A and B are shown apart, each in its own frame.
Chain A
């Protein structure tokens, strides 16, 4: 098998002592930032970008992979031991996980989360290794019109499907695209939005933008609303599970993986929808439905597996198409560009050893996480006690350091503050951050593909429809955009409809298959009805505030 031998070569690269060291650093760093509030894997990788210049790209990406998976683990620890999930993908874990912890079963909750993440991450990475080359084979035949369509789909889908308000999502996307415009136009050399400022001619550095929006914006936002009463962290010993727990966990792990991977691989996938679906499914299938809401282990095992499988799924479009679908993948794409590596379908051909070492390191990182995190859980619980002034002062300190070290100019720090204020405002008024980051990173690439497409057709817009794949994608795009309208009609005609089709709809195996996309809305319909997660800002309510008819004023 070609895949297998490439993968073995990848393992050979990833298992060299130096690279193994970077993998260990990555998973520990990732777990720590996942546990700590206010920090996430995307921001951490952005901060490390200037620092990793001196590394081999392979080593850097091995570390990034560790941070990515580690962040997922860390997030679950926080949501189990504190009832306030930091990342939207761990919202569902908190529902049952924290109840378990309060009932004295924190050790079991952490264990099923950690082992489930390992199982899901391993299966997910295996699926990635199998599917990514297949997607590549299909993708190399695509031309600019199709790429343009796929990127537009990714932007619109992330904006329209995730988040509670479409309008605010598109506003955020517009701001991101505008930020991406700043600088010299790559084709004509014209300066756009530079206002005669020579320091802006090279565009805004993605490190500065990402660190400002994620880190500075978050620190300012937390500072404005600092919780004065310390949160109660539930103390925990070493995680372990009894026989009964294993018996109740393994099926949810597998089902969660089946939900997570395809959604992660879709352009608008993310981890929110599959974790929620997994929760609903486990609740339905459980032999102990009465325990749900009081700390059912299935409600931790399934969503956590879905979360990690989605993380693996996200790597598929990133490596095979150069298409990021979440914030961490977006920053990784920026990292590829910084290292002078051209992401896209040719990545496997041009940088084969790097890609396979990266995939191998995902397996290794997963294993390391299990090895490291089971004994270290009590330590992570202690990290949560870090005095908040130091935590947020530290975030600002390292944000400044990271942004400054890119170009060593104080001007970047001014940008950092201005964009940080923008990040603050977005958090205050519910503008999602992800569309902005994707807009900044994908905007210039989309423009490039658009110009290439129309160059081939000599300016005739029909050139955009030159490939059948592109046409198919525009149809899906139209469906996504029209969905709230169709949904309303559907509701009016059949008020009692909405069958339990969620399980069937989420099982497609093709990672880039678009068929699952059309089914997405059915799922969100499901989620609107069940109110168990309605208190969280779980993002599966596509039409709650997009419609102006929702009033809450007198």
Chain B
């Protein structure tokens, strides 16, 4: 990553403050939840269910403050590399949003339309979002995967995935 002092790189450095914010919010959440617990003192459990939450919220809040200071002073978390990761270009939201869309579609469809349909939508949609343009081949693979896993889970493992709309056909 270039370290030239452009506006974008500055904004990038500051976006990590969001992480500090998230840590702080999580810390407050854990703390508030722990305070709300009502526990009568018990001889057999002197620690009680509140102690660990207090410690955890303390850890989160301290980390939030230190991280904020670190980021404001110019510290930066190192983005993770990998075989298929190219960090030279910024995050590509045009890929992520359709991908998340396919995932959400699956969540909405799975109980109503059944796994075979929702799984097909999930795989086909994800492959499309990730740049595959072999519509027919993708479709065939999606259907095959969804049907095979449906029967594999039902016959091989005894796990009945929802059949949904196709109930009676499958």
Seen from chain A, the residues whose Cβ lies within 8 Å of a Cβ on chain B are: 37-38, 50-51, 53-54, 78, 82, 84-86, 164-165, 167-168, 170-171, 173-175, 177-178, 181, 185, 187-188, 190, 192-193, 216, 218-229, 231, 387-390, 392-394, 396-397, 400-401, 404-405, 408, 410, 413-414, 417, 425, 427-431, 443, 446-447, 450-451, 454-455, 458-459, 537, 545, 548-554
Q: Is B84 on the interface with A (CB-CB < 8 A)?
A: yes
Contact residue among A84, A167, A181 (Cβ-Cβ distance under 8 Å from B70):
A167
Known: A178-B56, A401-B119, A459-B46. Is A393-B130 also a contact (CB below 8 A)?
A: yes
Q: Is B86 on the interface with A (CB-CB < 8 A)?
A: yes
Please list the 8 inter-chain residue pairs (A to B) with the smallest Cβ-Cβ separation, ordered nearest first: A430-B77, A459-B46, A37-B83, A393-B126, A389-B132, A389-B130, A429-B77, A227-B86
Known: A171-B23, A192-B34. 8 other contacts (CB 8 A): A170-B59, A224-B93, A388-B84, A389-B127, A429-B77, A430-B76, A447-B52, A537-B81
Set of chain B residues within 8 Å of A220, measured between Cβ atoms: 96, 99-100
Set of chain A residues within 8 Å of B149, measured between Cβ atoms: 401
Looking at B19, B46, B83, B119, the one whose CB has the most chain A CB atoms below 10 A away is B83
CB pair B67 A167 closer than 8 Å: yes
Known: A167-B67, A192-B49, A410-B110. Is A396-B126 also a contact (CB below 8 A)?
A: yes
CB pair B56 A224 closer than 8 Å: no
Complex Cα gap A187–B52 (Å): 13
Set of chain A residues within 8 Å of B53, measured between Cβ atoms: 181, 192-193
CB pair B37 A190 closer than 8 Å: yes
User: Dominant SS at the B interface?
Assistant: helix
Q: Which of B33-50 contact A (CB under 8 A)?
A: 33-34, 37-39, 42-49
CB pair A451 B84 closer than 8 Å: no
CB pair A167 B63 closer than 8 Å: yes
Set of chain A residues within 8 Å of B159, measured between Cβ atoms: 50, 405, 408
Q: Which of B48-83 contact A (CB under 8 A)?
A: 48-49, 51-53, 56-57, 59-60, 63-64, 66-67, 69-70, 73-83
Q: Is B163 on the interface with A (CB-CB < 8 A)?
A: no
Contact residue among A164, A175, A185, A459 (Cβ-Cβ distance under 8 Å from B26):
A175
Set of chain A residues within 8 Å of B119, measured between Cβ atoms: 397, 400-401
Known: A188-B48, A192-B33, A430-B80. Is A413-B106 also a contact (CB below 8 A)?
A: yes
CB pair B83 A164 closer than 8 Å: no
CB pair B30 A193 closer than 8 Å: yes
Q: Is B91 on the interface with A (CB-CB < 8 A)?
A: yes
Interface size on B, residues (CB 8 A): 91
Complex Cα gap A450–B3 (Å): 46
Chain A, Cβ-Cβ closest to B125: A393
CB pair A223 B130 closer than 8 Å: yes
Report the minimal beta-carbon distance from A451 to chain B, rounded to whole angstroms: 4
Complex Cα gap A437–B23 (Å): 16
CB pair B26 A178 closer than 8 Å: yes
Contact residue among B30, B74, B79, B86 (Cβ-Cβ distance under 8 Å from A181):
B30
Known: A175-B60, A225-B91, A226-B84. Is A450-B52 also a contact (CB below 8 A)?
A: yes
Contact residue among B16, B63, B80, B129 (Cβ-Cβ distance under 8 Å from A221):
B80
Chain B, Cβ-Cβ closest to A406: B159
CB pair A425 B19 closer than 8 Å: yes
Report the minimal beta-carbon distance from B133 to chain A, rounded to whole angstroms: 9
What are 18 inter-chain pairs, A to B, with CB distance below 8 A?
A37-B82, A84-B83, A85-B83, A174-B63, A175-B23, A177-B59, A181-B53, A220-B96, A221-B85, A222-B85, A223-B92, A228-B86, A389-B126, A390-B127, A396-B102, A401-B115, A430-B80, A451-B47
Contact residue among A78, A168, A454, A554 (Cβ-Cβ distance under 8 Å from B83):
A78
Chain B, Cβ-Cβ closest to A457: B46
Chain B, Cβ-Cβ closest to A52: B157
Complex Cα gap A405–B119 (Å): 13
Contact residue among A84, A387, A450, A550 (Cβ-Cβ distance under 8 Å from B81):
A84
Complex Cα gap A504–B157 (Å): 52
Looking at B48, B56, B122, the one whose CB has the most chain A CB atoms below 10 A away is B56
Chain A, Cβ-Cβ closest to B48: A188
Looking at B3, B19, B39, the one whose CB has the most chain A CB atoms below 10 A away is B19
Known: A38-B82, A171-B67, A405-B153. Is A188-B45 also a contact (CB below 8 A)?
A: yes
Set of chain A residues within 8 Å of B27, measured between Cβ atoms: 174
Chain A, Cβ-Cβ closest to B10: A553
CB pair B95 A548 closer than 8 Å: no
Set of chain A residues within 8 Å of B29, measured between Cβ atoms: 178, 193
Set of chain B residues within 8 Å of A178, measured between Cβ atoms: 26, 29-30, 56-57, 60
Set of chain B residues within 8 Å of A389, measured between Cβ atoms: 126-128, 130-132, 138
Contact residue among B45, B60, B99, B157 (Cβ-Cβ distance under 8 Å from A54):
B157
Set of chain A residues within 8 Å of B37, measured between Cβ atoms: 190, 192
Report the minimal beta-carbon distance from B88 to chain A, rounded to whole angstroms: 9
Complex Cα gap A175–B37 (Å): 20
Chain A, Cβ-Cβ closest to B130: A389
Report the minimal beta-carbon distance from B32 to chain A, rounded to whole angstroms: 10
Chain B, Cβ-Cβ closest to A432: B80
Complex Cα gap A227–B3 (Å): 21
Chain A, Cβ-Cβ closest to B159: A405
Known: A225-B87, A393-B130. Is A417-B103 also a contact (CB below 8 A)?
A: yes
Set of chain B residues within 8 Å of A85, measured between Cβ atoms: 83
Chain B, Cβ-Cβ closest to A411: B107
